[in-house]
Amino acid sequence: MKLTGAQALIKSLEEVGVEVIFGLPGGAILPVYDPILESHIRHILVRHEQGAGHAAEGYAYATGRPGVAMVTSGPGATNIVTPVADAYMDSVPMVVITGQVGTPVIGTDAFQEADVTGITMPITKHNYLLTDPEEIPEAVAEAFHIASTGRPGPVLIDLPKDVSQAETKWYWPDALDLPGYNPTTKGHSRQIKAAAKLILESKKPVIYAGGGVIKGRAADELRSFAELTGAPVVTTLMARGAIPDDHELCLGMPGMHGNYTAITAMQRSDLLITLGARFDDRVTGRVDGFAPEAKIIHADIDPAELSKIRRADVPIVGDLTNVISALSRAVQSEREKKPSPDLGPWWAQLREWQKKYPLAYEGPNGDGLKPQFVVEKLHEVTGGDAILVSGVGQHQMWASQFWRFNSPYSWINSGGLGTMGFAIPAAIGAKVGRPDETVWAIDGDGCFQMTGQELITASISRIPVKIAILNNAYLGMVRQWQELFYDERYSEVALGKDIPDYVGWAESMGCAAFRVDDVDDVIPTIEKAQAIDDQPVVVDFRTDWTEHVYPMIPAGASNDEVILSKAEDPDATEDHVPAEGDTR
Amino acid sequence: MSSLEIATQNETRILSVLVENKPRVLARVSGLFARRGFNIHSLAVAPTDDPERSRMTIVVAGDDATVEQMTKQLNKLINVIKITDLDPEVSVQRELMLVQVKADPSVRAQIIEIAGVFRAQVIDVGTETLIVECTGTPEKLHGLEDLLRPYGVVELVRTGRIAIARGTKAPKLKAVKNKPAAG
């Protein structure tokens, strides 16, 4: 069977089971847009290529399958560089197809030419520049395999126009030829045993669960393992919901804006059982002051993460579903030989911290609605039965702190790269991937202004997402840093409360829209938004611009220096670091 | 500070990297070293006996932890098949050097004699200069260079090291074909 490169591409995407492409056409990718008309694959036309990339990410988060984005050469491709970098940092499986100028003019600075494989080399797991249509099926098969196995990540295929126009003979590879790619999936049995021994010697263990638990779909295994060992679990920003927040073993989020107990448990721990986490600076603070007495068990699918930041006493390479189950079995069999230490005193200490320093805020009203109150009410009204998406900044931290994450795979945010504007397109992708779920995005006003136009995509393509803007009229996180670290010298952070008119803007994009200034309107408005299921909804919550995200560990400080708000410390009259005596 | 001086601050290590012989593989490898802040002392690359494979010999500088990270990061590149950290004790290292040195008739014989001691070859004779070619360990090439320098080195070119394991320690290619198709 003869077909064009473009037809071979679409057929290959069908072959690997793609159901949706997020994209935006242009000159060099035009040939591929023609056979889309005959394909059963759904194409969602975004308004900016960045939206295509984040939507593909949102789809991947929600479904666990690679998201697919397709854009044209040059500016189309460079516009998707941010989502590709985002997916690389957060290990999101994604396949991006970019058009490229014809092979005869590559390297001549042709119209809409950019060296996209060169640009994306550092931010893709792998990429391809195809020069022959015969390579297309193999490249697609490899790209999906690479994106979705091992440590997931983005793979990019750059397809020159003449290659997609040329004819080729159809075939589908029955095996892949990737001699340099063979991820280790099973943990080494000797290492597993060594880890089990450490676990059974530990008096102050902490399970440090990272995004790998989510990406590895290992939440069930994590929960059984935690229950078996009785060890407390901290869930990083990327792992929220890996074990339910309401579970008695869950301490919540550690790190720069984590809660006091989660942070301090790690600091005082004698053993960090690290599962799919990577000792990110936002978790560790100053590395040489981080968890000084802890031994480290570090399990990850990516060997390069082991001992990258903190030396692992027991490194384990493997797929977390395998590794965690193997750890559970090893702990059980070790336990038959020798009893494990009593974790009672450790838990007594943890409970005391939890009681003394809970997450708290003064609310529900200040100079506007308290953003934390809005997040709590959103959770209350939805019953937590929603996929929650966020952008980046203060609203992201409040969402992570005050939403109760009780099911895994339902929290989507940009962690590693910290990409403002992530929420709306990612929410669209998530809703497309799991149409039966309610998808709420908590967004900041700054983020909303970056990618809000994708609500046009949502309206026209009938993707009824719900957006809660925590509108404090500032680039709030930057403002918070200027207040704390730049002597309240506010430089270029004010956005304006009434311009844009978010309700008018949202309505013009085909959304239902509401504005909430009054505390009493918060719940009824969320209820109204919940009831709308045939169009996107935007709620503009006018929040208190003076509110801070606390607790906070200043960048570069040790995790012993947690700043609490006065609401979080009953003995305090102002925001402060609790006395040393309290932390030991 | 010269790259040599940087290299001697830390131990130098030789990574023998078997890669797929495909476009842009060198860019992937060198880009990785650049963006992660790893030092390359020298890098030599050419196809192997199997035309689908190339061998890169990379001389790097760093402590154990750094070299471990380099190796792990290199291994993540899809086109990298196998990395061997070559132990100098059980491997043979060679480098090629070409030196154009000032050699008027009064010193020409002396230079030819020095070259002879190093088993170097004089491969071009001009009226005012000679070109000497020498193969050997980096130490030997340094030695020759030191002796030629007083005559006046016009230009000096070195290939960077290549290395191979002694005996049967040659890195083997693990067959990982026939994997299941994409899911």
For chain B, give every domain's residue range. 3-86, 92-163
State the best of B54, B78, B84 to mutate against chain A, taking most chain A CBs within 10 Å.
B78
Mean pLDDT of B69-98: 95
Whether B31 and A121 lie within 8 Å, measured CB to CB: yes
Q: How many CB atoms lie within 10 A of CB A469?
A: 30
Mean pLDDT of A265-294: 97
Smallest CA–CA distance, residue B95 to chain A, in Å, is: 28
Mean pLDDT of A381-405: 98
What pLDDT, on the 0 to 100 scale, is given for residue B8? 47
CATH placement of domain A189-356: 3.40.50.1220
Contact, B120 vs B133, CB < 8 A?
yes
Chain B residues in contact with A122 by the CB 8 A cut-off are: 31-32, 35
Contact, B100 vs B153, CB < 8 A?
yes
Mean pLDDT of A343-359: 97
Annotated active-site residue A161? The verdict is yes
Q: Which two tokens stand for residue A148?
A: 């979705």
Mean pLDDT of A323-350: 95
| pLDDT, averaged across chain A | 96
What pLDDT, on the 0 to 100 scale, is given for residue A581? 39
Is residue A525's pLDDT more than 90? yes
Smallest CA–CA distance, residue A565 to chain B, in Å, is: 38
Q: With residue B165 as reference, give the H or E element that holds it.
A: strand B162-165
Kindly indicate whether the domain formed by A2-169 is annotated with CATH number 3.40.50.970: yes
Whether A141 and B181 lie within 8 Å, measured CB to CB: yes
What pLDDT, on the 0 to 100 scale, is given for residue A118? 98
A117 touches chain B (CB under 8 A): yes
Is residue A337's pLDDT more than 60? yes
Q: How many CB atoms lie within 10 A of CB A417?
A: 18
What pLDDT, on the 0 to 100 scale, is given for residue A498? 86
pLDDT tens digit sequence for A461-514: 999 999 999 999 999 999 999 999 999 999 999 998 789 999 999 999 999 999
What pLDDT, on the 0 to 100 scale, is given for residue A275? 98
What pLDDT, on the 0 to 100 scale, is given for residue B75? 97
Chain A residues in contact with B79 by the CB 8 A cut-off are: 180
A174 touches chain B (CB under 8 A): yes
Mean pLDDT of A306-321: 98
Buried/exposed code over B21-52 (b: 16+ C-beta within 10 A; e: otherwise): beeebeebbeebbeeeebbbbbbbbeeeeeee
What pLDDT, on the 0 to 100 scale, is given for residue A569? 80
Chain A residues in contact with B70 by the CB 8 A cut-off are: none
What pLDDT, on the 0 to 100 scale, is given for residue B3? 44
What pLDDT, on the 0 to 100 scale, is given for residue A579? 56
Is residue B176's pLDDT more than 50? no
Q: With residue A252 as reference, give the H or E element that holds it.
A: strand A250-252
pLDDT tens digit sequence for A555-564: 999 999 999 9
Taken in order B19, B23, B26, B28, the sign of the CA dihedral is negative
Q: How many CB atoms lie within 10 A of CB A61?
A: 27
CATH placement of domain B3-86: 3.30.70.260
Chain B residues in contact with A145 by the CB 8 A cut-off are: 179, 181-183
Cis peptide before A364 (omega within 30 of 0): yes
pLDDT tens digit sequence for A164-177: 999 999 999 999 99
**Out of A141, A176, A304, whose CB is closest to B69?**
A304
How many A/B residue pairs have CB atoms within 8 Å? Answer: 79
Q: Which of A14, A15, A19, A112 is catalytic?
A: A112
What pLDDT, on the 0 to 100 scale, is given for residue A582? 43
% chain A with pLDDT above 90? 95
Q: Which residue of B has its CA nearest to A12?
A: B182
Whether A178 and B179 lie within 8 Å, measured CB to CB: yes
What pLDDT, on the 0 to 100 scale, is given for residue B5? 46
Chain A residues in contact with B178 by the CB 8 A cut-off are: 175
Residue A576's pLDDT band, with cuts at 50, 70 and 90, is confident
Is residue A208's pLDDT more than 70? yes
Q: Which residue has the higher pLDDT, A102 or A576?
A: A102
Interface of A with B in 124-163 (CB under 8 A): 125-126, 129, 140-146, 148-149
Residue type at A292 in one-letter notation? P
Annotated active-site residue A477? The verdict is yes
What CA–CA distance (Å, rounded) separates A178 from A165? 27
Contact, A301 vs A186, CB < 8 A?
no
Mean pLDDT of A211-219: 98
Q: Which residue of B has its CA nearest to A130?
A: B23
pLDDT tens digit sequence for B143-153: 999 999 999 99
Mean pLDDT of A193-204: 97
Locate all alpha helices (DSSP H) within A188-288, ordered by sequence: 189-201, 211-215, 219-229, 260-268, 281-284
State the best of A115, A121, A149, A302 to mutate against chain B, taking most chain B CBs within 10 Å.
A121
A38 touches chain B (CB under 8 A): no
For A314, half-sphere exposure in the C-beta direction (CA atoms, 13 angstrom radius) is 24
pLDDT tens digit sequence for A91-101: 999 999 999 99
% chain B with pLDDT above 90? 81
Chain B residues in contact with A120 by the CB 8 A cut-off are: none
Whether B179 and A175 lie within 8 Å, measured CB to CB: yes
Mean pLDDT of A35-55: 98
Mean pLDDT is lowest, of A145-149, A213-217, A271-275, B61-65, for: B61-65
Residue B175's pLDDT band, with cuts at 50, 70 and 90, is very low
Interface of A with B in 289-318 (CB under 8 A): 302-304, 306-308, 311
What pLDDT, on the 0 to 100 scale, is given for residue B10? 60
Is residue B173's pLDDT more than 60? no
Q: Which residue of B has its CA nearest to A302?
A: B76
What CA–CA distance (Å, rounded) separates A409 from A240? 9
What pLDDT, on the 0 to 100 scale, is given for residue A547? 96
Buried/exposed code over B79-110 (b: 16+ C-beta within 10 A; e: otherwise): bbbbbbebeeeebebbbbbbbbbbbeeebbee
What pLDDT, on the 0 to 100 scale, is given for residue B183? 32
What CA–CA distance (Å, rounded) separates A409 from A387? 8
What CA–CA distance (Å, rounded) separates A59 from A40? 18
CATH architecture of B92-163: 2-Layer Sandwich (3.30)
Annotated active-site residue A112? The verdict is yes
ipTM greater than 0.85, yes or no? Answer: yes
Q: Is A74 exposed, middle or buried (0-12, 13-18, 19+ CB in 10 A)?
A: buried
Specify the residue for token string 């000032």. Answer: B102
What CA–CA distance (Å, rounded) separates B170 from A81? 41
CATH among 2.130.10.10, 3.30.420.40, 3.40.50.970, 2.30.29.30 for A365-542:
3.40.50.970
Whether A304 and B75 lie within 8 Å, measured CB to CB: yes
